[in-house]
Structure 1
Amino acid sequence: MTTTLDEIVANFELLDEWDDRYRYLIELGKSLEPLPEEAHNDANKVRGCASQVWLDMHSEDGPG
């Protein structure tokens, strides 16, 4: 089952604590396929994160 952006936003708004939001994002990430190596680039890199993290979003309508 795919989670929609609206569901993610609604769930995120229910979580008041930053650590609950963090855990929710980690849970969502674990349900995804691994990010292809070519997406590990500067445009997708999350700055200021203690870990090496890259994000790449696509919607049903095409690239995000």
Structure 2
Amino acid sequence: MSCLILQNIKLKQACFYLSKTNLSVQEIIEKVGYSGSSHFYHIFKKNFTLTPNEYRKQVQK
């Protein structure tokens, strides 16, 4: 499986958890399979132009 496809799957799962659960961002990072939080934050912000917490606030409005 391509790295980009796998990354997109992980980000889609993270978005689900951010919008539908109260899990902490760190718990979500672990659940979706990222080994480091700084890498996850970088990839997330690059794809959504928001941090995970900003994304959560946007979707929960």
Range class of TM-score, shorter chain = 0.3 to 0.5
Q: Relative contact order (C-alpha < 8 Å, sep 6+): which is higher?
A: 2
Q: TM-score, normalised by structure 2?
A: 0.36
Would you tell me which structure has more helix in proportion to its own residues?
2
Larger radius of gyration: 1
Would you tell me which structure has more strand in proportion to its own residues?
1
